[in-house]
Structure formats: C-alpha cells, structure tokens
Structure 1
Amino acid sequence: MIMVGVLRHQVTLLIGGEPPKASLKAVKETKALARGIALRTSANHLPLASFNQRKTFLCKAYEDGVYLKNPGASTGTPNPMTDPAGMEVMMDGMKKNMAMIIPQTIIMGWVNYFFSGFVLIKLPFPLTLRFKSMLQRGINTSEMDVAWVSSLSWYFLNLFGLRSIFNIILGEDNAMGGMGMAMGQPGQPQDFSKLFADEKDNLELTVHRWELHNVEKRILKKYRA
C-alpha cells in the first residue's frame, strides 16, 4: 500500500502539472477578506477610535466592491460550465480523483476477493463491542473476540492511518494528504461579493471592548500591597 501510494502521488503530480498561479486581483480579494477577519479578531487590542476608523473604511470598501476582481461586473458565482477557468478547475479535480479512486478500488477488490474472511492480527489491548463492526469487516460471527482484525478491516485501517508515513516519505504537501477520505467535488469559484457583504455585517455587529481600558486601576488593584 505504501508503494502504491508513492506511485499514486507521482501520477497525481504528472496529471496535475504545474499548479496554477493566482492572479494579482485574486490575491487582493483574498487578502481583503482576511483583513476584515483580522480586524474583528484583534479588535480589542485597538483603541476605540482606531477600530472605528478601520471598520468604517473596510465596510465602505466591501460595500462599494473596491477589492473585487471586476467591481462593475454582475454579482454571483460564475457558472463553471461556461467559465473557462472554472471548467479547467473541474477537469483537474476529476483527473486527480480518478488517480486516487481507481488504484484504491482495485486494491480493495483484490483484498476482498482473495482474503475474504481472513483474520490477520490480534490487537494487544481489549476493546468494546462498538469496534466489532469496524475491525471485523467480512466476518459475520458474534463469538470472536473484538481484538481480532480481519483482512478487509486491516486494509481500511492502513488506508486511513498511512497519512503520517506519506508525510515523512513525500513531504507535508504530498498529493496523498487526503488519502482514504471522500474526495468530494472539485472546488467551486467563490462569490466574493457575498463574502464581502457577510464580512461587512460581521464588522458592524462586532462589539469593541478595549483591553487597556482602565488598565492602571486594574494593575494597582491586582498588585497592591
């Protein structure tokens, strides 16, 4: 499974090619949204006047769409079926999904066909009956100790538990980071106009409590003799 995972990682890199570079306008959208989040989370570290000044500036910028890629364009998420960039993202995600799903299905079918009903190991610690369905897949018996692990269950345990091994062998940013997890649909373009509107509402609802308010009195009260 480790060798197949390494091979799958290399195939995923070959299929994906060079990762697309984000445009300057796309980076500006993301950083502008992060700026509002940082202001909300660090609001209490700023004096009230400084916080209000920043909040007013960002709320107006979010409302006017200053940080959008195309401020004058119509709002809404672009249709990935008609947007070339969205179509490219979808196709890239589908190719990577196929590179992950096909080898995984073949190995699981091979294990299930040739080793169905096999018991491989016994865990060196006791477990409750809740783990029986997870550790004894393919074995329908109620008398067997829960600590015994079937071949199919051992495959799934390795599938979910090899991520740390792949991080050591292939690096932290390897293509096997999501191994064993449901791949889901490829990422869809985000509607930053809606995200900016939501962040504007969040900023307006943020309650400011300056942490240095009456700090002298609080220090004297805490450390008075």
Structure 2
Amino acid sequence: MGGALMTLATFLKHVPNNQYVEFAAYQLSGEAQQWWQEECRLLQLQNADIPWDVFQMAFYKKYFPESAREAKKMELMQLKQGSLSITDYTSRFEELCRFSRVCQGAPKTYESWKCIKYQRSLKDNIMTAVATLEIRIFSDLMNKARVIEEYTGTLMATRGRGRTRSRESRNEQPADNHAEFMATIANLTNTMEANTVVTLQAVQRLGQSAGNVNGNSEGNTNDNA
C-alpha cells in the first residue's frame, strides 16, 4: 500500500482528473482498504464522487501527520546534490517530492516547480550548464544532468592522467639532480683528500728543510768554538 501511494503522483500522469480517487483507492490494501471503505460510508459517497483534495486530507490525517509532512518538506527544501551522484540525488529528490503537497497535485501544476527546485540544488558546474536550457520537463532535465555529469567525470579523469604524467616527469628531474649532486660531492671529497695529501707532503718537506737548517747551524757554532 505505502509504496503504491508514495508513487501516486507519477501514476496520476496517466489518469483522468475525475478518476484520481478511484485509482488511489484501488491501490489500497489490507487495513488501509478497510479504513477507506469506512470513510466512504461516513461520507456517504462513492469514490467517483469524492473530490481528490478530500481523499488526500483524509489519508494524510490518518497515515501521515502534519509534523512528519513538515519535516519532509524542510528536508526537501534543504536538499543539495553535494557529493551525491546524479542517480542518488535524483532518487532522494523524488522520494522527498512524494511527501510534498505541491507534488501531490495535478502533474501539470508541479512539473515546472519540480524542475526549478531540482536544478537549483545541483552542483554548481552542472546547474550552470543546464540553467541556460530552461528545461521544464523533469525527465529531460534529469537525463541532461546525467549526461553533463558523465562528461565532467570523463574530463576530470583525462586531466588527472595528464597531471599524473606531469608529476612523474617532475619526479624524474629531482632524481637526476640528486645524482648530479652526489657526484659533485664525491668529486669535491676526492679533491679535498688530494689537497690534504699534498698539504701534508708540503708540511713534511718543510719540516725536513727546517731540520737540515738547524743541523747546519749547530755544526757551524761548534766549529767556531
């Protein structure tokens, strides 16, 4: 029963206005069917003679209190696509629309409103793309949004692969620089070691020269004595 009634607005597109109540009553089963039969007896009317708004008011009063309707209405007003895919966003949007009084009326009266509300809550890039098209048939708007989402996803994936290749190219350069840097350090180390050896050899030679000078000076002093 619940599922059938929750999709009532969709089915009503194919039902003449004067048969709304008959169609809705046909969807009822079990306890709900017994409840409506009792309501008809109290109203002393047949389904075909009961206005649609009377049926709605009675049904909502019984199975869907005002507080619950207001909560769902607020949730619909605040709904945004955000991180949801178009498929998930559309599913949630349509679920909440089933609780909206606007969407429970005749389809022609809410189709435009539904499109505007759906469009305004899309992601910015998708909303910008579809806004200029001014689509007022919900199925067309939903399909167009899905196409744009798929195109955007493909474009982002392509750009992602390009960025990956660019990062890989940049990562290779530091490796080359690092190798060059290590080679420079090695050369500098070798140069420093060679210079140290030369310096030590020079010091040793200077030491030897100083020793010879001192030895000669002492010999000359002894001779003079």
State if a TM-score over 0.5 links the two structures.
no
| Bigger share in helix | 2
Q: Taking CA–CA contacts closer than 8 Å with sequence separation of 6 or more, which of the two structures ends up with the larger relative contact order?
A: 1
Larger Rg: 2
What TM-score does the superposition give when structure 1 sets the normalisation length?
A: 0.23
What TM-score does the superposition give when structure 2 sets the normalisation length?
A: 0.23
